[in-house]
Amino acid sequence: MMGRRLAAFLILAVVAAACSPGPGTGGTLEGSDWVLRSYAQDGSLTIVPETLYGDARFTANRVSGYGGCNTFDATYRAGGRTLFVSQPASTLMACDEAAMEFEAAYLGNLQSSRFYSARRSTLTVFDAQGTAVLEFDAAPRNPLLGNWDVDSFATAPGSLTAPLEGTTLNTVFGIASVGGSSGCNQFTGTYGSNGNIVRIGRLATTRMACPDDVMNQEAAFLAALEGAALIDSRGSTLSLTDLRGNIVVALVRPSTDPDATPSAEASSEPEPSATPTATPTATPTSTPTTAPTAAPTATPTPRPAPTERPSPAPTLEPLPSIPPTASCDLLATGGAALGTIVYPASWSTLTEPAEVACRYFDPEAPTQTPTEPPTIQAAISIVSSDTSFSDAVTATTDPASWDVTRVQEVTLSGQDATLVEAVALVDGAGITAGTSSFAYLIDYGSAGTLTLGTAGEAGSDSYDTNATVTSLMAASSTFTPPG
């Protein structure tokens, strides 16, 4: 009888809370992987640093996820706009102080939840006082998300090296940020991905000094990470490769203590399971922070370096509609179809006259006179030329005119292409000396060469962003040389 009265009391309490004044609008919790964007700390919401990561997944009255160092599991009750989470049980791994403090704050805020709003791609959790304590983003498909230990990395073409004994190399991928430990220093940066391809921007590091061999390792690892182009995900292992399919960085999920047991007893809220869930593989879009912070320093379990798989120039897979995309038809001067260009739906492009239509792409609408193409300035442009493909590649890799940093062959929509990234040494072709160029040269046979690319200051946010979008456009568009 007492149990029935208690159950009835709890039901009435939930109903009363749902009908009483308070924040939140409710919504659907299940079906999304929620990546933590910000959390309450010292009375205000704090954005999660690049080198830390947390997430949550709601299924069948259970919530589980990654807390920053350990995996956790709890039960929850949701009704209307109310949300009650039991005290989470977690594994017992030890991480650095920053990760442990973050985890304690995250799980404490999760347990304090009383109200919530789940609308579109955002989940906000409020405490009993109506204060927002957690903000999540619904993550798109992205196998990179979360914490990884570095198994090995490329030090030369065809050569993989394991981390030096006594050093820690790891990465933490958020929705748009990446950070971690590079053996001596902490590093941070931004990246973009559609789940199949990835572009990692210039990485910044702290300025500690270490022995020469450690510093050399750090430089080689960061260079390898910045050179990643494709993602090969296989459960708890992940390989980042260049456009030829050569592995540049091999990653593994951090090992967990097989003897770990839940770290806390359940509260008077519903009981959590005694067995925590496995480390999640949530799938990223949040604004990255700028100040580097300490990364988790759990020592990776040594594994043999994977064997590199040589392969021909890969075909980039199409971009899924995350974010939404638009398309336009690219036509030659005579009206022949050259292909269909896919670009971010939020960007602008010219639609007329015919000679400039579908050739200039920018977050803002171009303001120059469309009848004078040389005057048009846009983030990304497409230029067709009757120059043969081999001559075009030779010209853009000429050491007298360019300081070339990358040359990679790739197949785009069945066409041979070459990605060239270089810094101009002289003025020419609308690019001033000192400007970096990132461009795909596409072989159109007897019709010549099509060039899709961007230019700007290497290492700047705008250049890295535009280069990422260029790669996504190249992978998603259809190129059709005239018959």
SS3 label, residue 321: coil
Give residue-wise pLDDT tens across range 261-288. 333 333 334 343 333 333 444 444 444 4
Could you report the per-residue pLDDT of 323-367, keeping only the tens digit for each? 467 889 988 877 778 889 988 877 888 887 777 889 999 988 766
In a domain, 317, yes or no: no
Q: Are residues 152 and 117 in the same domain?
A: no
Exposure string of 237-266, with b = 16+ CB inside 10 Å and e = fewer, is: ebbbbbbbbbbbbbbbbbebeeeeebbeeb
CATH number at residue 180: 2.40.128.270
Structure tokens at 63: 């919530």
In angstroms, the first-to-last Cα distance of the chain is: 83
| Cβ–Cβ under 8 Å, residues 73 and 173 | no
Give CA–CA dist 262/304, Å, rounded. 31
Judge whether 276 lies within some domain: no
Calpha distance 93→67 (Å, rounded):
11
Query: Each residue of 196-246: pLDDT tens digit?
Result: 888 888 888 888 999 999 999 999 999 999 989 889 888 789 999 988 788
Give the tokens for residue 152.
């090995």
Query: Which pairs with CB-CB distance under 8 Å and at least 24 residues apart come from 356-359?
Result: 357/328, 357/329, 357/330, 357/331, 358/328, 358/329, 358/330, 358/331, 358/382, 359/330, 359/383
Range of the domain at 332: 325-479
Q: From CA 106, how far away is CA 295, in angstroms rounded?
A: 16
Q: Is the domain of 225 the same as that of 349?
A: no
On whether the CB atoms of residues 56 and 64 are closer than 8 A, the answer is yes
Task: Give the CATH number for residue 354.
Answer: 3.40.1000
| Total tally of structural domains belonging to the chain | 3
Integer CA distances (angstroms), 450 to 127, 147, 168, 445, in order = 56, 39, 44, 10
Half-sphere exposure of 322 (CA within 13 A, CB side): 16
Q: Decide: 217 and 183 in contact? Cβ < 8 Å.
A: yes
**359 with 460, same domain?**
yes
The Cβ-side half-sphere exposure at 284, using a 13 Å CA radius, reads: 27
Question: pTM of the entire structure?
Answer: 0.48
d(CA 414, CA 394): 22
Q: Which of 38, 48, 37, 85 has its CA nearest to residue 64?
A: 85
The CA-based diameter of the chain, rounded to the nearest angstrom, is 90
3-state secondary structure (DSSP) of residue 440 = strand
Residue 23 lies in a domain: yes
Q: What is the pLDDT of residue 274?
A: 37
From 189, 186, 63, 214, select the one nearest 134 (Cα to Cα): 63
Q: Residue written as tokens 């090296």?
A: 161
In a domain, 449, yes or no: yes
Q: In the prediction, which pLDDT does 368 show?
A: 60
pLDDT at 126: 96
Give the integer Cα–Cα distance in Å for 270 and 61. 10
Q: How confident is the model at residue 174 (pLDDT cuts 50, 70, 90)?
A: confident
Q: Do 117 and 210 share a domain, yes or no?
A: no
Shared domain for 108 and 246, answered yes or no, is no
Q: What is the C-alpha to C-alpha distance for residues 274 and 64, in angstroms, rounded to an integer?
A: 12
pLDDT for 132: 94
Q: How far apart (Å, rounded) are the C-alpha atoms in residues 144 and 453?
A: 26
Tokens of 50: 């690049």
Please tell me the distance from the alpha carbon of residue 399 to that of residue 402, in angstroms, as a whole number: 5
Token output for 185: 């220093």
pLDDT band at 293 (very low <50, low <70, confident <90, very high): very low
pLDDT score at 387: 92
Same domain, 225 and 334: no
Task: Between 303 and 133, name the one with better pLDDT.
Answer: 133
pLDDT tens, position by position, 37-92? 999 998 889 988 888 899 999 998 899 999 998 889 999 999 899 999 998 998 88
Co-location of 127 and 45 in the same domain: yes
pLDDT digits (tens, 9 = 90+) for 441-468: 999 888 899 999 999 987 777 887 788 7
Residue 272 within any structural domain of the chain: no
Band the pLDDT of 165: cuts 50, 70, 90.
very high
Say if residue 183's pLDDT is above 80. yes
Q: What mean pLDDT is reported for the chain?
A: 79
Single out the residue in 226, 252, 278 at which a domain terminates: 252
Encode pLDDT of 366-416 as tens digits. 666 555 555 678 899 998 888 999 999 999 999 899 988 888 777 787 888
| pLDDT on residue 367 | 62
Q: Are residues 186 and 119 in the same domain?
A: no
- Report how far apart, in Å, the C-alpha atoms of 269 and of each of 14, 40, 106, 116, 273 are: 12, 22, 18, 17, 13
> How confident is the model at residue 171, as a pLDDT?
95
Q: Average of pLDDT values for 296-322?
A: 41
